[in-house]
Copies of this chain bind each other. A is one copy, B any other.
């Protein structure tokens, strides 16, 4: 039987790397997609390349210049990254690191690529438990986008239409670390820190969620 293709949104972090190896284990033919959108931690894209190479997945890279995003602390080095108490991350107001419409753009580009190569699935590492409280990580958003991707594509008119998969959606970070180990994801190659220095800062929300995940899973972080 012919293998189905999946387009995997690959940032080079813990979550998307786990997704890539999850899709590989599921038997999909892999196409990875990385997006440079002016993120201060564009160092993550080097991790994405290393991860794609490890998986022997072809990697497509797209660059965007969207000047209106400069109000986000994830884009603008002059703004302070959020450092919330761990118990409050994702529970209060939308944090300053929110990039308006980011996942919508990522998924739209993946939809275009998926429709071009006739893929069956788009895989995104969104999760709604140990997450940063961004509206575009919510299950209801992903459901609505999945429907749009099905209706708005050529592939969507076929018998087995395009769909959006978010295999980490209901996992906490501990669960993600365990899944990563199960599918053989090379976590030593990954990069999660928002600050974009030469080593993870250990203070930003992303570093601390990652640290919590490894600690609770009882696993040492191989990237530190």
Contact = CB atoms under 8 A, between A and B. Distances in A.
A104 to B, nearest CB: 4
Contacts of A102: 112
A21 interface: no
Interface in A67-84: 67-69, 71
Interface stretch (A113-121, A173-181, A200-208): A113-121
A186 interface: no
Contact of A144 (B107, B115, B148): B148
Copies in the complex: 2
Interface in A39-87: 60, 62-69, 71
A53 B152 CA distance: 31
Contacts of A108: 101, 104-105, 107-109
Contact of A111 (B64, B101, B117, B138): B101
A105 B145 CA distance: 12
A117 B69 CA distance: 10
A123 to B, nearest CB: 16
A20 interface: no
Interface residues of A, number: 46
Contacts of A112: 66, 68-69, 99-102, 104-105
A138 B147 CA distance: 13
Contacts of A147: 144, 147-148
Contact of A148 (B63, B66, B69, B104): B104
A117 B101 CA distance: 12
Sorted nearest first, the 8 A-B pairs with minimum C-beta distance are A101-B112, A108-B108, A100-B115, A136-B152, A144-B148, A141-B151, A141-B152, A144-B147
